[in-house]
Amino acid sequence: MLEEIRQQPAALERTLRRELAAIKRFKRVIEKRKPRLIVLAARGTSDNAALFGRYLLEITTGIPVSLAAPSVYTLYDVRPDLKDALVVAISQSGESTDINVVLERAREQGALTAGITNEPASSLARLAEHVLLVRAGKEKSVAATKTYTGQLLLFYLLAHALGGAIRKDELERLPGCVEQALRLEPRISGLSERYRFMNHAAAVGRGLNYANAYEFALKLMETCYVVAERFSSADFLHGPIALVERGFPVFAFGPTGVTWAALRGILEKLRELGAETVVFTDAGNREAAGFGRTVRIPCRIPELFTPIPYIIPAQLFAACLASQKGLDPDRPRTLSKVTRTM
C-alpha cells in the first residue's frame, strides 16, 4: 500500500499525458451530443471517486449529475430511461458485475456511455463506447490508492470535455503537489503513533472534499479496522455531532475557499467540546493552525484542485496507522481485490 501511494506522482503524470488524445476525441462527440443528465455508476472506492465527480461536474458544467443505484437494475429489474444521458461507469478492475449491468442497460437504450477503469482488457472497457484509462499500473494492494487519484484526474478531463473551465496547465501541477504531499510521510508516521489505540473516529469534508472524507474513512475501516463515520460538515451539525466527547478523534479536510467558513464553524464547536482534531490543509490556509493538529501540504492550491493532493496524507495516515496497530494493510481480513456484487 505504501509503495503504491508513493507511485502516484508518476501514475498521474502518465495518465494525464496518455489520455489527452482520448479526451479530445470524446470532446468532439460531446460537442455534437451534449447530455441533459449525467449518471455515474460505481462501488467502493470508485463510488467515492464518483461522489467527487458529481460535485466537480455540476460545479464546472452545470449539468445535473446523479449517482446510480445499481440494485434498481439488478434486483428490481427496473430500467430507468437514460437515452438522453451520459452514463459513466467507474471501476478499478472493470469487473463489478452490477456496475457493468447499468452500463449495458444504458447502452441498450441508446445512452452515451463511458467507462473509467485501470484495466483495458476488462468487461467494463468492452462494454463502454468511450474508455478513459487510469494509467496506474497493476494495483496489488487490496486498498485502492493510486487508482482513486487516477479516477479523480480523469473526472477533471471529463469536465474539460463537457465544457468546464479546466485547463491542462492546472492539471499538470498536480503531480508536483502530490510529490510535495508525499514528503510529509515521516511526520504522518509519527502522528499515527498517537492514534494506535483508536477504535472510533469521524471524517468530515464539504463540497469537493466531501468524497475524501468518505475515502479516508473507508481506508481506516478496511486497513485499520477503525469504525470511521464520514460526514459533510453541514450534515455533521444535524445530529452526528452528539457523538463527540472529549478526546473523540475528528479528521477534517480544510482547504481555503468557499467551504472554509462553514468548516471553521464546525472546528470551533469541536474545540469547545474538547475533540481531538486533525485538519488536512495546505500552505494557503493560515487559520487552520488554530484548530488542533494540522497536516499541511507545503504548496498553495486553488480549492478546485485540492482533492487529489489532500487525500495523499490521509492515505499515508491509514497505512502508517495499520502498521502501528500490527496489521497488514495489504491483506485486510475478509477482503479481496475484485468484489463482484449484484
Give, for all 342 residues of the chain, the pLDDT tens digit.
Answer: 999 999 999 999 999 999 999 999 999 999 999 999 999 999 999 999 999 999 999 999 999 999 999 999 999 999 999 989 999 999 999 999 999 999 999 999 999 999 999 999 999 999 999 999 999 999 888 899 999 999 999 999 999 999 999 999 999 999 999 999 999 999 999 999 999 999 999 999 999 999 999 999 999 999 999 999 998 878 876 667 778 889 999 999 999 999 999 899 889 999 998 999 999 999 889 888 888 899 999 999 999 999 999 999 999 999 999 999 999 988 876 655 555 555
3-state secondary structure of 236: helix
Determine the Cα–Cα distance for residues 108 and 87; give it in Å rounded to an integer. 12
Q: Taking the chain, what is the end-to-end CA distance rounded to the nearest angstrom?
A: 28
Determine the Cα–Cα distance for residues 52 and 155; give it in Å rounded to an integer. 8
Distance of CA 149 to the CA centre of its chain: 7
Query: Whole-model pTM?
Result: 0.95
Write the CB contacts of 136 (distance below 8 Å, at least 6 apart in sequence): 4, 7, 11, 15, 118, 146, 147, 150
Q: Which backbone phi and psi does 7 adopt, to 5 degrees?
A: -80, -5
Helix extents (H) in the chain:
2-6, 8-32, 44-61, 70-74, 97-108, 123-127, 146-161, 168-172, 174-182, 185-193, 210-224, 233-236, 260-273, 307-324
Determine the Cα–Cα distance for residues 123 and 52; give it in Å rounded to an integer. 24
- For residue 162, give the C-alpha cell: 463537457
Could you give all domains of the chain from N- to C-terminal order, each with its CATH number?
A: 2-172 (3.40.50.10490), 175-324 (3.40.50.10490)
3-state secondary structure of 131: strand
- Burial group, residue 29, by CB count within 10 angstroms (0-12, 13-18, 19+): middle
Determine the Cα–Cα distance for residues 192 and 321; give it in Å rounded to an integer. 5
